[in-house]
Amino acid sequence: TMAVPKATQDLLTPAFVVDLPKVKKNAQVMMDRFKKLGVQLRPHMKTHKTIEGGDIMTNGTRRCIVVSTLAEASFYAEHGYDDILYAYPLPFDKVKKCAELSEHLSLFHVLVDSLAALEQLRSCPLSTGKVWHVWLKLDCENGRAGVPYSDPAALNLAKAISGSQGIELTGVYAHCGNTYHCTGEHEIKAVAQATTTATLEFMEKLKTAGIPCPKSSIGSTPSCSHPVSDMTLLSEVHPGNYIFYALDVQQSVIGSCKMEDIAVRVLTRVIGHYTHRNQLLVDCGWAALSLDSRGCLPTGYAVIEGHPELKLLSMTQEHGRIEPISGKLDFDKFPLGSLLYIIPYHACATAAMHPVYFVQSENKIVDTWKPVRGW
């Protein structure tokens, strides 16, 4: 392995650069916010998938986290984390591994949204004294996974979980990912309110039906950045993205954060001048940035820091084409070999492209973080 340079500008490009002071600040703000509201923060690890990021988000406790892959669950468990919620509709090929984690950890939670998944757990009882900790996934208009909150099937599933031997209904879990389609604080709060209301109403239904279920949890970075007062009635929230404010440019576009909260950049170098096309070529393609931009930025697939006049027009696997939004490009401003900092539109997708993150503080590389990969 090559030695890591001390100065950011000496990195080999493309490089994923994480701003440590911003990460710490973003994590602290979220911790303080929910401590004040009296709601348990269960941070999601999926954005960064690193131990170092997890330690910052849990304030060093290594307790009470959410993961989206079994690879993440195992990785964190191996590093002394506990109280891990695998928040993904239970995959049948992974039940055995989930059983091992449930037996090994003091608290490992799984998520189900079907009777078929519950049947898998019933047919795989845990060893003496252990119960499956199951969260019911509720769909509160997000339209991805989960049983629709108003569907009688949701209550029936809760009853079935609760009435199963060796299985406990630990909580109800809803992801308000529909906040990502919002613009501005007002719209975000409206979705946060609707999701919270739907979840709390479902908790009331459980109570009325005599079904014990201690916890309720909703979350997404936009809703947890602008919480509504009813969220104090929930047990937990589970945002993740805020560590980078990733869906970063997107978070900024929709109003979750300010541009200066965004903690990640992709460092790229100018590798070509094509005057006849009025274009620069950079060494950052979709293999270093991802194509997820939903096409909503005037600057193309990302924002080029300090250059609002430039547009990342298109990417192939290892190349990016940049041109001015209008007018002639001043090529002298961007000599071959010069550096540009790209603020990605979606940092979860961008982080997933990189095997190592270069962690900087005041333009010095102070650490490298290695994320877990795979499923």
pLDDT recorded at residue 52: 98
Q: Are 245 and 262 in contact (CB under 8 A)?
A: yes
pLDDT digits (tens, 9 = 90+) for 342-352: 999 888 899 99
pLDDT recorded at residue 3: 84
pLDDT recorded at residue 251: 65
pLDDT digits (tens, 9 = 90+) for 194-203: 999 999 999 9
pLDDT recorded at residue 13: 98
pLDDT recorded at residue 357: 98
The structure tokens listed for 223 are 């809703």
pLDDT digits (tens, 9 = 90+) for 215-228: 999 999 999 999 99
**Among candidate residues 15, 18, 72, the one with its CA nearest the CA of residue 289:** 15
Calpha distance 276→253 (Å, rounded): 33
pLDDT recorded at residue 248: 44
pLDDT recorded at residue 255: 67
**Among candidate residues 52, 85, 13, 94, the one with its CA nearest the CA of residue 374:** 94
- Non-local (6+) Cβ contacts of 142 within 8 A are 174, 175, 176, 177, 178, 195
Please name each of the domains of the chain with its CATH number.
39-244 (3.20.20.10), 259-369 (2.40.37.20)
Q: Characterize 105-116 residue by residue with b for buried, 16 or more Cβ atoms within 10 angstroms of its Cβ, and e for exposed.
A: beebbbbbbbee
Residues of the chain with pLDDT under 70: 1-2, 246-255, 293-296
